[in-house]
Amino acid sequence: MGGKVVPLYTPRKGRKMRVVVLFSGGASAVPFMLGGKNYEVVGAISSNKNASGIKRLGDMGIPVEILDIKDFYAGRPITDMRIREKYDERLLSIIRSKGWRPDIIACSGYMYVLTKRFLNEFPNRILNVHPADLSITKNGRRAYTGLNVVRDQIEAGEKFTRSTVHIMNENPDQGPILVISDPLPVEGRSPEEQQALMKEKCDGPAYRKALELISSGMVGIDEKNNVYIKKGDEWVMGFWRGST
């Protein structure tokens, strides 16, 4: 063990865990986040003024704010992280001004790297879903990271794909794993077809499971960023994994 285990969230009587969503497209995992016994989605911010998720979430009754990142950059290189820090500060100001007081930030198809400024505001409380099993390693490194990983998995001969919900840190797709979804057989689909189906069969259910566990006080982390799941009165090191 790495030391003292600290819950990601401690339940409080009469209060649900509050979740704010960041998204850039369809926010397809959000419908799976609704109806939780111990948590609620209190707001969302889109980085894309044309995202289809704006109407989708609005129709669900979720307050949505828009902070278009391309408008913010105004033609400057989108990779300029000094501007990204200012953008992230604006994200934080929106969250504060709306009084959302999130316990968890849930990224659902949010396409931009978050800076240390934002990450430090919610330590170990920013989640992301990735369309691959991040526990698979090759040569000591995570095998399927970055973009186009569904294609990479199919080309590598994987017979099924999974999605991973993990804690975000400064290194994309490298944060501690919380939940790995049930497997989805490839069955001859194209990468695009497989990924579209994964949103329903893998991404959404994995996110819902992660929020259920966290909001129940059943997920903890130690000083070495080892994840623990509570079993009865004991913390057991390791993440939650769906069926094989």
pLDDT, one tens digit per residue, over 158-180 is 999 999 999 999 888 999 999 99
Domain annotation covers residue 11: no
**What is the model's pLDDT at position 32?**
96
Domain annotation covers residue 3: no
Last residue of a domain, which of 100, 122, 144?
122
**What is the model's pLDDT at position 67?**
98
Render pLDDT for 207-218 as a digit per residue (tens, 0 to 9): 999 999 999 999
H/E/C letters for each residue in the chain?
CCCCCEECCCCECCECEEEEEEECCCCCCHHHHCCCCCEEEEEEEECCCCCCHHHHHHHCCCCEEECCHHHHHCCCCCCCHHHHHHHHHHHHHHHHHCCCCCCEEEEECCCCCCCHHHHHHCCCCEEEEECCCCCCEECCEECCCCCCHHHHHHHCCCCEECCEEEECCCCCCCCCEEEECCCEECCCCCHHHHHHHHHHHHHHHHHHHHHHHHHCCCEEECCCCCEEEEECCEEEECCEECCC
**By residue range, what is the domain housing residue 20?**
16-122
Mean pLDDT of 195-222: 97
The pTM of the whole model exceeds 0.85: yes
Q: Looking at the structure, do residues 106 and 22 belong to the same domain, yes or no?
A: yes
Structural domain count of the chain: 2
Q: Looking at the structure, do residues 92 and 39 belong to the same domain, yes or no?
A: yes
Q: Looking at the structure, do residues 50 and 118 belong to the same domain, yes or no?
A: yes
Mean pLDDT for the chain overall: 95
Q: Looking at the structure, do residues 184 and 105 belong to the same domain, yes or no?
A: no
> 244 pLDDT band (50/70/90 cuts)?
low
> 150 pLDDT band (50/70/90 cuts)?
very high
CATH number, position 228? 3.40.50.170
Last residue of a domain, which of 105, 122, 139?
122
